[in-house]
Structure 1
């Protein structure tokens, strides 16, 4: 039997776990210990790194994120140590940490678990290293801010036990799950972690049950670790706030029985919901900051314009009461015009698009005064508002760029990351990709930060890392990587990704406000209108897929809906006929797509060639329901959830072309061109060519 089993649950924190394992290996040199790492479906090359650099570590690989509690339980079941240590992958332990914890547990028979002093990277104490259970009173003092006002009070400072000396050992109710050293005997009596807690609250629940089983829990400041708090949570593809609040509600319902406290249970539950509402509100404002600011400024400009126009005559008050609904209508129309320039889709702080949106709104709002009497208003007010909008909407964007320490302003951290300094990743781990990064880094204009490299396949993780260019993950998890690392721009060198992979990247990031640029070269397949940016001798072609613009998708859907509605009676008749006729067989098929699979029925004429008219009318029903389109892309028979998806069509650009080679690469090229250069006129042209070759 081993003296110690160290368990680490890893999820996409490759560089943190590398440092953690190095520190742990140094700390267990004189201890009979085993190290078990449970990987929760990481895609950042963590497994390859551990196998290469730490061959003695036992690895358990889960295909998907099973949660912190379940993953730890998997390791506890095979652990051979008399004492088990749960250690987060984003920690650094001191050389004596495990020795100090083991000596204390072995010399105190009544102690079931210990936790050490945990420091933040800046050297400050991480308050969560010692805690009380969140009873209604403790939770109330936290929510009301009383614990912050009176941290040294035993009455108000119980949440994080801030009244205790951080340099003295103390018996506590709970310790942090980022570093817990527990006797196997205590685990056998209290049970393993409750797997209903996915990522938060499982440590509190475990400590509660260890206490209930008669064991003491001790905070031990004789040794310390550094914890880079929340790195695995940042990498998670789900809403951490939602998971946390569910965990807290589960803990309350499980352990805080009604009648056992002076304050009722509902106060604690109410506190959790208040915290949720506040957090969601802050998150919403941060995410839509530019839209909110623009709408407020548009409304303010209308108010100022009315004052300028009617105050000299003493009629401003009358106009405000008579036209109180006009102000939001005009402001919303201006906001829609700004959105129509894709200002809020990608470049929220682009000055030229802001000016274009304001001028378009001026034309639209001026037309209202001519064609819609109910919205008729002073054209002078509209003109003055437009001038004010040009000044205010562009002005705050310019000021933001030059404001010192602006990232410290509430709601503006993400804004600054995307506006003042773009966060860029480069696809590929080869020499060309690294050369591009070097040129970007050497630019005189330092408005770009290279976050890292995106690998093409998992095999690329076997390439030794360059510290300044970390490999963040693969192109197949680009959606998560963009969210986690707040990426604004993806640069793709030539010959690094196939057309299929490029389409996949575009599809997976189309709603994430990210720019995708390809390094330009002669005779490249990227044709059509593009924006070209030069960095030294490297030119980047800005890829914009017109099919994903909201107004193009709206027009396409309306076209499909109207035309299919006209043909719907014939389609329904064909469905009835083919269902009853013995000459036809209906075959169910599944089309893979990134979010949700699409289920269709295919028509087979029992070995004979289907009638083109019958087959076309059969699929009209799916066009009407939105599962297909009159014009779409060539489906990929090898499609996976990582492959680009757009509606399959009754016809495609490839089918009306002269290229009938049938190769997958050729089909992808035509799909690529269609998505980039889509227009309603192109759909009409393809349809006509399909009917009249």
Structure 2
């Protein structure tokens, strides 16, 4: 197989983030890189500008906003990455690459032959470390995080779920943030990629869980660092996105407890998540109205 490395990103009017993503990529690896932009209906012209400016960038139009996982799957299928490469990278276009970040992930992949996905340490724009390596959500740990997290952010269940008190160390975890992943092609092919029922949110949790069930590992590699200016697209409709997050969470949990006798548990999930969704959506709308008033 070639030394060429493919980086797949999903674009949806990414604006100036995309240029920073592409410009900083030169610092991330010494390998020749081809970037595939799976475009979900951008209207700002930035993907087209990128194709003109960078010779190693290809534009794949998905035909509309098909969601994150579906767009990644289409790019992988179109360029046959699961069968013609050993590894490929999946990353949001609002990522900025740290020095040797991709090469360090590749080095770690050699140390972890059963790693299906590997993720770097992710920093927020203020320099703080984002908890991108987490346990899988259990009924108690994930449930308490979901229910009490909005009103008690420092609760112990959230801290354990997000592994916030863990020192950064290279280790296997339950799942990794889908904002930046090195994927082992064989693992991605074995589980048929992302589950396309998830339009947005939880597709990375589901991916990590299914990799683990198939005998692969999700490995956190904090020696590799990226910066993520998260939420550039989801911030356009925070209320709608909060509702989508809760719907995806229900899909994930209902899948893990599918038996007939577990129906009361699914009803409980649906009721609790519905109540939480209404609470946080109302709070979000109220905050936006207050912000608009303040600008007048």
Verify same fold: TM over 0.5.
Answer: yes
Encode CA deviations 1:113-162: one digit per residue, 9 max, x unaligned: 111111100001112x11222222122321224984455xxx66332112
Q: 1:38 to 1:158 in 2, by over 3 A?
A: same
SS at 2:59 equivalent: strand
Is the Cα contact below 8 Å between 1:139 and 1:268 reproduced in 2? no
CA shift for structure 1 position 37: 1.0
Match of 1:414 in 2: 292
Does the Cα contact within 8 Å between 1:13 and 1:232 map onto a contact in 2?
A: yes
2:134 corresponds to which of 127, 131, 134: 131
Alpha-carbon separation, structure 2, partners of 1:148 and 1:283: 16
Name the CA distance, whole Å, in 2 between partners of 1:59 and 1:126.
Answer: 30
Task: Tell me how far apart the structure 2 counterparts of residues 180 and 24 of structure 1 sit (CA, whole Å).
Answer: 14
Cα distance in 2, alignment partners of residues 237 and 164 from structure 1: 30
Rate the CA distance shift 1:21–1:208 in 2: closer, same or farther, 3 A. Answer: same
| In 2, Cα distance between equivalents of 1:255 and 1:140 | 14
TM-score scaled to structure 1, two decimals?
0.39
CA contact (8 A) 1:12 1:235 kept: no
Q: Partners in 1 of 2:221 and 2:122 — Cα distance?
A: 10
1:280 to 1:52, Cα distance in 2 relative to 1, 3 A: same
User: Hey, what does 1:72 align to over in structure 2?
Assistant: 72
Alignment of structure 1 residues 95-174 onto 2, 5 Å:
95-127=99-131, 129-142=132-145, 143-145=147-149, 148-151=153-156, 157-165=159-167, 167-174=168-175
Pair 53,66 (structure 1): closer, same or farther in 2 beyond 3 Å = same
Q: Return the alpha-carbon distance in structure 2 between the equivalents of residues 11 and 136 of structure 1.
A: 34
Give distance in 1, aligned partners of 2:48 and 2:196.
28
SS of 1:141's equivalent? helix
Q: How does 1:8-47 map to 2 (within 5 A)?
A: 8-28=9-29, 30-47=30-47
Deviation at 1:5, TM superposition (A): 1.8
2:9 touches 2:36 (CA, 8 Å); kept in 1?
yes
Give the equivalent residue in structure 2 for 1:443: none
CA deviation after TM superposition for structure 1 residue 7, in Å: 0.5
CA gap 1:50/1:132 in 2 versus in 1, 3 angstroms:
same
- Structure 1 residues 35 and 273: CA distance shift in structure 2, 3 A: same
Note if 1:268 corresponds to 2:269.
Answer: yes
Contact 1:90 / 1:227 at 8 angstroms: preserved in 2? yes
SS at match of 2:125: coil
> Counterpart in 1 of 2:91?
87
Corresponding residue of 1:641: none
Compared with structure 1, are the counterparts of its residues 22 and 200 closer, same or farther at alpha carbon in structure 2 (3 Å cutoff)?
A: same
**Following the alignment from structure 2 to structure 1, what is the Cα–Cα distance between the partners of residues 284 and 115?**
42
Map residues 104-503 of structure 1 onto 2, 5 A cutoff: 104-127=108-131, 129-142=132-145, 143-145=147-149, 148-151=153-156, 157-165=159-167, 167-235=168-236, 239-257=240-258, 264-286=265-287, 412-416=290-294, 418-419=295-296
* Shift, 1:194, TM fit: 1.0
* Contact residue 173 and residue 219 of structure 2 kept, 8 A: yes
Aligned positions, number: 288
Seen in structure 2, the aligned counterparts of structure 1 residues 82 and 176 have a Cα distance that, compared at 3 Å, is same
Alpha-carbon shift at residue 50 of structure 1 (Å): 0.8
In 1, the alpha carbon distance for the partners of 2:181 and 2:33 equals: 16
In 2, Cα distance between the equivalents of 1:111 and 1:283? 38
What are the superposed Cα offsets for residues 478-530 of structure 1, whole Å, 9 maximum, x if unpaired?
Answer: xxxxxxxxxxxxxxxxxxxxxxxxxxxxxxxxxxxxxxxxxxxxxxxxxxxxx
Task: In structure 2, list runs of 5 or more residues that go unmatched.
Answer: none
CA change 1:156–1:21 in 2 (3 A) is closer
Residues 384-411 of structure 1 deviation map (CA, whole Å, 9 limit, x = unaligned)? xxxxxxxxxxxxxxxxxxxxxxxxxxxx
- CA drift of 1:33 comes to 3.2
**TM-score, normalization by structure 2:** 0.88
Secondary structure in 1 matching 2:137: coil
Give 1:451-600 correspondences, 5 Å limit: none
Higher relative contact order (CA 8 A, sep 6+): 2
Mark the CA change 1:150 to 1:252 in structure 2 (over 3 Å): closer, same or farther. closer
Return closer, same or farther for 1:260/1:49 CA change in 2, 3 Å cut-off. farther
In the TM superposition, residue 14 of structure 1 has moved relative to its aligned partner by 2.0
Distance in 1 (alpha carbons) for counterparts of 2:165 and 2:271:
26
What SS does structure 1 have at the residue aligned with 2:86?
A: strand
Deviation at 1:237, TM superposition (A): 10
Note if contact 1:193-1:202 (Cα within 8 Å) is conserved in structure 2.
yes
Change (3 A) 1:286 1:123: closer
Instruction: Determine helix, strand or coil for the equivalent of 2:37.
Output: strand
**Residue 95 of structure 1: how far off its partner (Å):** 2.1
